[in-house]
Every structure is written in C-alpha cells, then in structure tokens.
Amino acid sequence: MAKETYKLVSKFPREEKFGIISQMKRAAVSVPANIAEGWSRNHTKKFIQFLYIAIGFLAELETFIGISNNLGYVKNTESSKYMDAEIGNTRKMIYAMIKSLSSRL
C-alpha cells in the first residue's frame, strides 16, 4: 500500500511536495510502522492498540484521496481503485488480525 501511495503522489503537482504529498506519504508509511511497533511490544493488548492506530492512518489516507480527487490531482476511477484495492484490503487484513488477537484475550 505504501508503495502504491508513493506512485500515486508522484503524479501530483510539485507545489504540493510539502503539503498533501508529504502528508499522504507519512500516513502511508505509518500504517506498517505502527503494526511493527505494536508487534514489538510483545503484548496482545498493546498490539491491538497499535493496529487501531494503523486503521486511523488509513482513514487519513482516505481523506487525502478525497481531497486530491476534489482538487483534480487524481481521477475518480484512480481514487476508487486505490481506495478499494489498497486501503480497503489493508483495512480488512488489519481488522481480521484484531479479531484473531482479540479472541485470544
């Protein structure tokens, strides 16, 4: 997902380099970073907490995609594909992980 985000924002106007581009990149890399950090805590409840934080960053990405679409930086089809394929699938996997971990508590 992070890789696809980087590809997507490479098409944005240069004047957004320190605006929406940096925000989207930060949110995209924060998802796997929070999963890794949660895993390293070696405690199921903490791990679940970090998984929810990762889901929050996915919500940020969705918001940025919507804004980018409204600004004309991405086409409707491109943003829909990204939201479904990248964000949607990642969210499903994280929720499945949360469900599995929660059943062990």
Residue-wise pLDDT tens digits, 52-76: 999 999 999 999 999 999 999 988 8
| pLDDT higher than 90, residue 23 | yes
The CA–CA distances, whole Å, from 39 to 19, 42, 59, 101 equal 31, 6, 21, 11
Q: Given phi > 0 = left and psi -120 to 50 = alpha, else beta, which region is 6?
A: alpha
Torsion (CA) 1, 24, 55, 47 in degrees, nearest 10: 80
Whether the full predicted model's pTM is greater than 0.95, yes or no, is no
| pLDDT higher than 90, residue 80 | no
Alpha-carbon distance 26 to 11, whole Å? 17
Which residue is associated with the tokens 């949110």?
27
Is residue 24 within 8 Å of residue 5, measured between CB atoms?
yes
Look at residue 83 in the predicted model and tell me its pLDDT: 82
7 alpha carbon, distance to own chain's centre? 14
Residue count of the chain, please give it.
105
> Which sequence spans correspond to the domains of the chain?
2-6+18-102
What is the CATH topology of the domain spanning 2-6+18-102? de novo design (two linked rop proteins) (1.20.1440)
